[in-house]
Amino acid sequence: MSDHYDVIVVGVGGMGSAATYHLADRGLDVLGLERYDVPHDRGSSHGSTRIIRRTQYEDPAYVPLVDSAYERWRDLEEQTGRDLLSVTGGIDAGPPGSRIVTGSQAACEAHGIDHERLSAAAVNDRFPGYDLPEGHCAVYQPDAGFLDPSACVVAGVEAAHEAGATIRAREPVHEYATFDGGSTDADGGVRVTTSKDTYEADRLVVTAGAWVPDLIPDLAGVAVPERQVLAWLHPTRPAAFDPDSFPVFVHATGDGHYYGTPRYDVPGFKLGKFHHREEVVDPDGFGREPRPADEDLLRAYAERCFPEGAGPTMRLSTCLFTNTPDGHFILDRLPDDPRVTVGAGFSGHGFKFASVVGEILADLAIDGETDHDVDRFRADRFA
Protein backbone atom coordinates (compact mmCIF):
# COMPACT_ATOMS: atom_id res chain seq x y z
CA MET A 1 0.00 0.00 0.00
CA SER A 2 1.42 3.35 -1.05
CA ASP A 3 1.22 6.51 1.02
CA HIS A 4 -2.10 8.18 1.68
CA TYR A 5 -2.76 11.34 -0.37
CA ASP A 6 -5.10 14.23 0.16
CA VAL A 7 -6.41 13.96 -3.42
CA ILE A 8 -5.91 11.60 -6.35
CA VAL A 9 -6.60 12.88 -9.88
CA VAL A 10 -7.34 10.26 -12.54
CA GLY A 11 -6.48 11.48 -16.04
CA VAL A 12 -3.74 14.08 -16.54
CA GLY A 13 -4.76 15.67 -19.82
CA GLY A 14 -5.99 19.23 -20.24
CA MET A 15 -8.44 19.21 -17.34
CA GLY A 16 -6.53 16.83 -15.09
CA SER A 17 -3.20 18.64 -15.37
CA ALA A 18 -4.92 21.90 -14.39
CA ALA A 19 -6.77 20.26 -11.50
CA THR A 20 -3.59 18.61 -10.23
CA TYR A 21 -1.81 21.96 -10.31
CA HIS A 22 -4.57 23.89 -8.54
CA LEU A 23 -4.88 21.26 -5.82
CA ALA A 24 -1.13 21.07 -5.23
CA ASP A 25 -0.85 24.86 -5.27
CA ARG A 26 -3.14 24.91 -2.23
CA GLY A 27 -0.60 22.86 -0.31
CA LEU A 28 -2.34 19.50 -0.71
CA ASP A 29 -0.55 16.20 -1.24
CA VAL A 30 -1.75 15.23 -4.73
CA LEU A 31 -1.21 12.18 -6.93
CA GLY A 32 -2.02 12.38 -10.65
CA LEU A 33 -2.48 9.12 -12.56
CA GLU A 34 -2.41 8.93 -16.36
CA ARG A 35 -3.06 5.77 -18.37
CA TYR A 36 -0.89 6.92 -21.31
CA ASP A 37 2.06 9.30 -21.70
CA VAL A 38 2.18 12.90 -20.49
CA PRO A 39 1.18 14.38 -22.88
CA HIS A 40 -0.33 11.77 -25.20
CA ASP A 41 -2.33 11.64 -28.43
CA ARG A 42 -5.02 9.12 -27.50
CA GLY A 43 -7.72 11.40 -26.13
CA SER A 44 -8.86 15.01 -26.50
CA SER A 45 -5.94 17.14 -25.27
CA HIS A 46 -3.27 16.79 -27.92
CA GLY A 47 -2.14 18.38 -31.15
CA SER A 48 -0.96 21.88 -31.91
CA THR A 49 -4.08 24.10 -31.75
CA ARG A 50 -7.40 24.48 -29.96
CA ILE A 51 -9.60 27.53 -30.48
CA ILE A 52 -10.22 29.96 -27.65
CA ARG A 53 -12.86 32.67 -28.10
CA ARG A 54 -14.96 35.02 -26.02
CA THR A 55 -17.92 34.69 -28.42
CA GLN A 56 -19.67 31.84 -26.65
CA TYR A 57 -22.53 31.14 -29.08
CA GLU A 58 -23.30 27.96 -27.10
CA ASP A 59 -24.63 30.09 -24.22
CA PRO A 60 -23.73 33.62 -23.05
CA ALA A 61 -23.35 32.17 -19.55
CA TYR A 62 -20.03 30.66 -20.65
CA VAL A 63 -18.48 34.11 -21.14
CA PRO A 64 -17.45 34.70 -17.50
CA LEU A 65 -15.82 31.27 -17.48
CA VAL A 66 -13.84 31.91 -20.64
CA ASP A 67 -12.80 35.33 -19.34
CA SER A 68 -11.38 33.60 -16.27
CA ALA A 69 -9.76 30.98 -18.50
CA TYR A 70 -7.91 33.68 -20.47
CA GLU A 71 -6.54 35.05 -17.20
CA ARG A 72 -5.45 31.62 -15.93
CA TRP A 73 -3.71 30.77 -19.22
CA ARG A 74 -1.75 34.00 -19.07
CA ASP A 75 -0.84 33.28 -15.45
CA LEU A 76 0.40 29.81 -16.43
CA GLU A 77 2.47 31.29 -19.26
CA GLU A 78 4.12 33.68 -16.83
CA GLN A 79 4.75 30.95 -14.28
CA THR A 80 6.27 28.43 -16.71
CA GLY A 81 7.79 30.70 -19.37
CA ARG A 82 5.92 28.80 -22.09
CA ASP A 83 3.93 30.36 -24.96
CA LEU A 84 0.45 28.86 -24.73
CA LEU A 85 -2.08 31.32 -26.19
CA SER A 86 -1.82 33.06 -29.58
CA VAL A 87 -4.29 35.82 -30.49
CA THR A 88 -5.43 35.89 -34.13
CA GLY A 89 -8.95 37.27 -33.96
CA GLY A 90 -11.92 35.05 -34.66
CA ILE A 91 -14.71 34.68 -37.20
CA ASP A 92 -18.07 33.13 -36.22
CA ALA A 93 -19.86 32.76 -39.54
CA GLY A 94 -22.93 31.34 -41.19
CA PRO A 95 -26.32 32.34 -42.61
CA PRO A 96 -27.79 35.39 -40.85
CA GLY A 97 -30.18 33.33 -38.70
CA SER A 98 -27.78 30.54 -37.82
CA ARG A 99 -27.13 29.68 -34.19
CA ILE A 100 -23.43 30.50 -34.50
CA VAL A 101 -24.03 34.05 -35.74
CA THR A 102 -27.00 34.92 -33.55
CA GLY A 103 -25.55 33.22 -30.48
CA SER A 104 -22.16 34.89 -30.86
CA GLN A 105 -23.71 38.32 -31.26
CA ALA A 106 -26.00 37.71 -28.27
CA ALA A 107 -23.02 36.73 -26.10
CA CYS A 108 -21.09 39.83 -27.18
CA GLU A 109 -24.03 42.14 -26.50
CA ALA A 110 -24.86 40.52 -23.15
CA HIS A 111 -21.30 40.95 -21.87
CA GLY A 112 -20.14 44.08 -23.67
CA ILE A 113 -17.56 42.25 -25.77
CA ASP A 114 -15.88 44.23 -28.54
CA HIS A 115 -17.02 42.83 -31.90
CA GLU A 116 -17.98 43.64 -35.49
CA ARG A 117 -20.80 42.27 -37.66
CA LEU A 118 -19.40 41.67 -41.16
CA SER A 119 -20.81 40.49 -44.47
CA ALA A 120 -19.18 37.54 -46.20
CA ALA A 121 -17.72 39.96 -48.77
CA ALA A 122 -16.18 42.08 -46.00
CA VAL A 123 -14.63 39.01 -44.38
CA ASN A 124 -13.21 37.79 -47.69
CA ASP A 125 -11.80 41.21 -48.48
CA ARG A 126 -10.17 41.69 -45.07
CA PHE A 127 -8.83 38.13 -44.77
CA PRO A 128 -7.72 36.87 -48.22
CA GLY A 129 -7.59 33.21 -47.17
CA TYR A 130 -11.38 33.24 -46.73
CA ASP A 131 -14.00 32.75 -49.45
CA LEU A 132 -17.25 32.61 -47.47
CA PRO A 133 -20.42 32.09 -49.52
CA GLU A 134 -22.46 35.05 -50.66
CA GLY A 135 -25.31 35.70 -48.26
CA HIS A 136 -23.39 34.51 -45.20
CA CYS A 137 -22.27 36.92 -42.49
CA ALA A 138 -19.97 36.84 -39.51
CA VAL A 139 -19.20 38.17 -36.05
CA TYR A 140 -15.54 39.19 -35.81
CA GLN A 141 -13.99 39.34 -32.34
CA PRO A 142 -10.35 40.45 -32.04
CA ASP A 143 -9.45 38.57 -28.81
CA ALA A 144 -9.98 35.06 -30.22
CA GLY A 145 -7.09 32.80 -31.05
CA PHE A 146 -5.71 29.38 -30.29
CA LEU A 147 -4.02 27.44 -27.53
CA ASP A 148 -1.22 24.93 -28.01
CA PRO A 149 -2.83 22.00 -26.15
CA SER A 150 0.22 19.77 -25.78
CA ALA A 151 2.22 22.71 -24.44
CA CYS A 152 -0.67 23.56 -22.10
CA VAL A 153 -0.65 20.05 -20.63
CA VAL A 154 3.11 20.13 -20.20
CA ALA A 155 2.91 23.56 -18.54
CA GLY A 156 0.19 22.36 -16.18
CA VAL A 157 2.24 19.32 -15.20
CA GLU A 158 5.37 21.44 -14.72
CA ALA A 159 3.44 23.81 -12.46
CA ALA A 160 1.96 20.86 -10.57
CA HIS A 161 5.41 19.35 -10.06
CA GLU A 162 6.74 22.69 -8.86
CA ALA A 163 3.89 22.81 -6.34
CA GLY A 164 4.80 19.35 -5.04
CA ALA A 165 2.42 17.00 -6.86
CA THR A 166 3.37 13.46 -7.82
CA ILE A 167 2.33 12.40 -11.35
CA ARG A 168 2.63 8.88 -12.72
CA ALA A 169 2.17 8.14 -16.43
CA ARG A 170 1.50 4.77 -18.08
CA GLU A 171 -0.42 3.61 -15.04
CA PRO A 172 -4.06 2.86 -15.95
CA VAL A 173 -6.62 2.98 -13.16
CA HIS A 174 -8.68 -0.20 -13.01
CA GLU A 175 -11.19 0.82 -10.34
CA TYR A 176 -11.82 2.84 -7.25
CA ALA A 177 -13.84 2.18 -4.11
CA THR A 178 -14.80 4.27 -1.12
CA PHE A 179 -14.12 2.79 2.29
CA ASP A 180 -15.04 3.07 6.00
CA GLY A 181 -18.73 3.51 5.30
CA GLY A 182 -20.96 6.51 5.00
CA SER A 183 -21.11 9.10 2.29
CA THR A 184 -20.46 12.31 4.20
CA ASP A 185 -17.32 14.35 3.78
CA ALA A 186 -16.03 13.34 7.20
CA ASP A 187 -16.17 9.59 6.56
CA GLY A 188 -13.48 7.38 5.12
CA GLY A 189 -11.74 7.92 1.83
CA VAL A 190 -11.13 6.48 -1.61
CA ARG A 191 -8.98 3.52 -2.62
CA VAL A 192 -7.69 3.50 -6.21
CA THR A 193 -6.34 0.36 -7.85
CA THR A 194 -4.05 0.71 -10.86
CA SER A 195 -2.05 -1.64 -13.07
CA LYS A 196 0.90 -1.19 -10.69
CA ASP A 197 -0.27 -0.37 -7.17
CA THR A 198 -3.07 0.65 -4.84
CA TYR A 199 -3.37 4.17 -3.45
CA GLU A 200 -5.62 5.87 -0.90
CA ALA A 201 -6.80 9.46 -0.60
CA ASP A 202 -9.39 11.58 1.13
CA ARG A 203 -10.80 12.76 -2.21
CA LEU A 204 -10.84 11.61 -5.83
CA VAL A 205 -11.09 13.79 -8.97
CA VAL A 206 -11.92 11.97 -12.21
CA THR A 207 -10.91 13.75 -15.43
CA ALA A 208 -10.42 10.70 -17.61
CA GLY A 209 -12.06 12.01 -20.78
CA ALA A 210 -13.64 9.30 -22.90
CA TRP A 211 -12.73 6.74 -20.22
CA VAL A 212 -14.81 8.37 -17.46
CA PRO A 213 -17.71 5.88 -17.91
CA ASP A 214 -15.29 3.01 -17.29
CA LEU A 215 -14.80 4.32 -13.75
CA ILE A 216 -18.25 5.85 -13.21
CA PRO A 217 -20.77 3.56 -14.98
CA ASP A 218 -23.67 5.89 -14.16
CA LEU A 219 -22.20 8.31 -16.73
CA ALA A 220 -22.07 5.75 -19.54
CA GLY A 221 -25.16 7.19 -21.20
CA VAL A 222 -24.31 10.85 -20.67
CA ALA A 223 -20.57 11.06 -21.47
CA VAL A 224 -20.43 9.44 -24.89
CA PRO A 225 -17.16 9.12 -26.88
CA GLU A 226 -17.22 10.15 -30.53
CA ARG A 227 -14.57 9.78 -33.24
CA GLN A 228 -13.28 13.08 -34.63
CA VAL A 229 -10.85 13.65 -37.53
CA LEU A 230 -8.85 16.78 -38.35
CA ALA A 231 -7.03 17.72 -41.57
CA TRP A 232 -4.09 20.01 -42.28
CA LEU A 233 -3.90 21.21 -45.89
CA HIS A 234 -1.01 23.13 -47.43
CA PRO A 235 -2.24 26.45 -48.90
CA THR A 236 -1.33 27.58 -52.40
CA ARG A 237 -0.86 31.04 -50.85
CA PRO A 238 0.67 30.20 -47.46
CA ALA A 239 1.01 33.77 -46.15
CA ALA A 240 -2.78 34.21 -46.25
CA PHE A 241 -3.10 31.37 -43.72
CA ASP A 242 -0.48 32.55 -41.22
CA PRO A 243 -1.56 33.55 -37.69
CA ASP A 244 -1.13 37.27 -38.36
CA SER A 245 -3.51 37.21 -41.32
CA PHE A 246 -5.91 34.29 -40.74
CA PRO A 247 -8.39 34.42 -37.82
CA VAL A 248 -9.60 31.20 -36.26
CA PHE A 249 -13.15 30.36 -37.36
CA VAL A 250 -16.32 28.46 -36.68
CA HIS A 251 -18.73 28.29 -39.60
CA ALA A 252 -22.29 27.02 -39.94
CA THR A 253 -23.09 25.62 -43.39
CA GLY A 254 -25.90 23.58 -44.89
CA ASP A 255 -24.10 20.32 -44.10
CA GLY A 256 -22.76 21.05 -40.64
CA HIS A 257 -20.55 23.17 -38.48
CA TYR A 258 -16.86 23.51 -39.38
CA TYR A 259 -13.93 25.10 -37.57
CA GLY A 260 -10.30 25.87 -38.27
CA THR A 261 -7.06 27.54 -37.26
CA PRO A 262 -4.09 29.07 -39.14
CA ARG A 263 -0.80 27.43 -40.00
CA TYR A 264 1.07 26.60 -36.81
CA ASP A 265 3.56 23.83 -36.10
CA VAL A 266 2.28 21.79 -39.08
CA PRO A 267 2.84 23.13 -42.66
CA GLY A 268 -0.87 23.44 -43.35
CA PHE A 269 -4.00 25.15 -42.06
CA LYS A 270 -6.17 23.01 -39.81
CA LEU A 271 -9.87 22.30 -40.22
CA GLY A 272 -12.46 19.96 -38.82
CA LYS A 273 -16.20 19.37 -38.71
CA PHE A 274 -18.02 19.19 -35.40
CA HIS A 275 -19.21 15.63 -34.81
CA HIS A 276 -17.46 14.72 -38.09
CA ARG A 277 -19.33 11.58 -39.26
CA GLU A 278 -21.24 11.06 -35.99
CA GLU A 279 -19.46 7.85 -35.04
CA VAL A 280 -20.00 6.80 -31.42
CA VAL A 281 -17.04 4.62 -30.47
CA ASP A 282 -15.32 2.58 -27.79
CA PRO A 283 -12.20 4.62 -26.93
CA ASP A 284 -10.18 1.41 -26.62
CA GLY A 285 -11.38 -0.21 -29.82
CA PHE A 286 -12.08 2.14 -32.71
CA GLY A 287 -10.37 2.96 -35.99
CA ARG A 288 -7.79 5.60 -35.14
CA GLU A 289 -6.27 5.61 -38.60
CA PRO A 290 -8.01 8.27 -40.74
CA ARG A 291 -9.80 6.95 -43.81
CA PRO A 292 -10.19 8.39 -47.34
CA ALA A 293 -13.79 9.33 -46.58
CA ASP A 294 -12.60 11.46 -43.65
CA GLU A 295 -10.23 13.39 -45.90
CA ASP A 296 -12.80 13.76 -48.66
CA LEU A 297 -15.36 15.29 -46.29
CA LEU A 298 -12.95 17.95 -45.01
CA ARG A 299 -11.35 18.68 -48.36
CA ALA A 300 -14.74 19.28 -49.98
CA TYR A 301 -15.47 22.00 -47.41
CA ALA A 302 -12.04 23.61 -47.85
CA GLU A 303 -12.50 23.72 -51.61
CA ARG A 304 -15.80 25.58 -51.16
CA CYS A 305 -14.83 28.11 -48.50
CA PHE A 306 -11.01 28.24 -48.42
CA PRO A 307 -10.00 27.33 -51.98
CA GLU A 308 -6.48 28.72 -51.65
CA GLY A 309 -6.06 26.58 -48.57
CA ALA A 310 -7.12 23.33 -50.24
CA GLY A 311 -3.68 22.23 -51.39
CA PRO A 312 -1.94 18.93 -50.65
CA THR A 313 -2.77 17.13 -47.44
CA MET A 314 -0.06 17.49 -44.82
CA ARG A 315 -1.65 15.55 -41.98
CA LEU A 316 -4.79 13.76 -40.87
CA SER A 317 -5.31 13.05 -37.19
CA THR A 318 -7.97 11.35 -35.10
CA CYS A 319 -9.08 12.45 -31.63
CA LEU A 320 -12.10 12.00 -29.38
CA PHE A 321 -15.03 14.15 -28.36
CA THR A 322 -16.97 13.13 -25.24
CA ASN A 323 -20.51 14.43 -25.68
CA THR A 324 -23.32 14.99 -23.22
CA PRO A 325 -26.96 14.99 -24.37
CA ASP A 326 -27.30 18.76 -23.95
CA GLY A 327 -23.78 19.68 -25.08
CA HIS A 328 -22.81 21.14 -21.70
CA PHE A 329 -20.11 19.96 -19.30
CA ILE A 330 -20.32 17.86 -16.15
CA LEU A 331 -18.53 19.60 -13.25
CA ASP A 332 -19.78 18.27 -9.95
CA ARG A 333 -19.33 16.02 -6.98
CA LEU A 334 -21.10 12.71 -7.49
CA PRO A 335 -24.59 12.97 -6.00
CA ASP A 336 -24.23 9.69 -4.09
CA ASP A 337 -20.67 10.28 -2.85
CA PRO A 338 -19.23 13.78 -2.41
CA ARG A 339 -15.75 12.36 -1.99
CA VAL A 340 -15.65 11.92 -5.78
CA THR A 341 -15.60 14.94 -8.10
CA VAL A 342 -15.91 14.57 -11.86
CA GLY A 343 -15.09 16.75 -14.84
CA ALA A 344 -16.40 15.20 -18.04
CA GLY A 345 -18.44 15.60 -21.22
CA PHE A 346 -16.60 18.56 -22.69
CA SER A 347 -18.39 17.98 -25.99
CA GLY A 348 -15.76 19.32 -28.36
CA HIS A 349 -15.58 22.84 -26.95
CA GLY A 350 -14.04 22.35 -23.52
CA PHE A 351 -10.28 22.66 -23.87
CA LYS A 352 -10.28 26.46 -23.90
CA PHE A 353 -11.75 26.33 -20.37
CA ALA A 354 -9.23 23.84 -18.95
CA SER A 355 -7.26 26.42 -16.99
CA VAL A 356 -10.34 27.50 -15.02
CA VAL A 357 -11.96 24.05 -14.96
CA GLY A 358 -8.94 22.87 -12.97
CA GLU A 359 -9.62 25.58 -10.42
CA ILE A 360 -13.33 24.69 -10.27
CA LEU A 361 -12.63 20.99 -9.74
CA ALA A 362 -10.19 21.84 -6.94
CA ASP A 363 -12.83 24.06 -5.33
CA LEU A 364 -15.49 21.35 -5.53
CA ALA A 365 -13.23 18.56 -4.32
CA ILE A 366 -12.01 20.45 -1.26
CA ASP A 367 -14.75 22.93 -0.39
CA GLY A 368 -17.82 21.42 -2.04
CA GLU A 369 -18.55 24.72 -3.77
CA THR A 370 -16.98 27.32 -6.03
CA ASP A 371 -17.39 31.01 -6.71
CA HIS A 372 -17.83 30.22 -10.42
CA ASP A 373 -21.37 29.66 -11.69
CA VAL A 374 -21.53 25.93 -12.41
CA ASP A 375 -25.19 25.16 -11.70
CA ARG A 376 -25.80 24.22 -15.35
CA PHE A 377 -23.09 21.54 -15.08
CA ARG A 378 -24.65 19.46 -12.30
CA ALA A 379 -24.18 15.71 -12.70
CA ASP A 380 -27.75 14.90 -11.65
CA ARG A 381 -29.45 16.93 -14.40
CA PHE A 382 -29.74 13.81 -16.57
CA ALA A 383 -31.31 11.68 -13.86
11-59 pLDDT tens trace: 999 999 999 999 999 999 999 999 999 999 999 999 889 999 999 999 9
Q: What is the dihedral of CA 301, 306, 309, 315, to 10 degrees?
A: -30
Q: Residue 61: name the closest of 254, 246, 340, 326 by CA.
A: 326
| Average pLDDT estimate for 224-242 | 97
Q: Active site includes 305?
A: no
If you average pLDDT over every residue of the chain, what do you get?
96
Average pLDDT over residues 313-333: 97
Q: Which one is catalytic: 270, 276, 333, 349?
A: 270
- In the predicted model, is pLDDT for residue 341 greater than 90? yes
pLDDT value of residue 3: 79
pTM flag (> 0.85): yes
**Among 275, 299, 372, 378, which one carries the catalytic annotation?**
275
Sequence-distant (≥ 6) Cβ neighbours of residue 315 within 8 angstroms: 230, 231, 232, 266, 268
49 in active site: yes
Catalytic residue among 22, 46, 136, 333: 46
Active site residue 352: yes
Mean pLDDT in residue range 59-80: 97
Domains of the chain: 4-45+150-221+327-382 (3.50.50.60), 85-145+224-323 (3.30.9.10)
Report pLDDT for 186: 53
Residue 72 host element (H or E) = helix 63-80
Q: Which of 330, 331, 328, 340 is nearest to 10 (CA)?
A: 340
User: In percent, how much of the chain has pLDDT > 90?
Assistant: 95
Residue 46 a catalytic site member: yes
Catalytic residue among 203, 319, 322, 328: 319
pLDDT of residue 181: 56
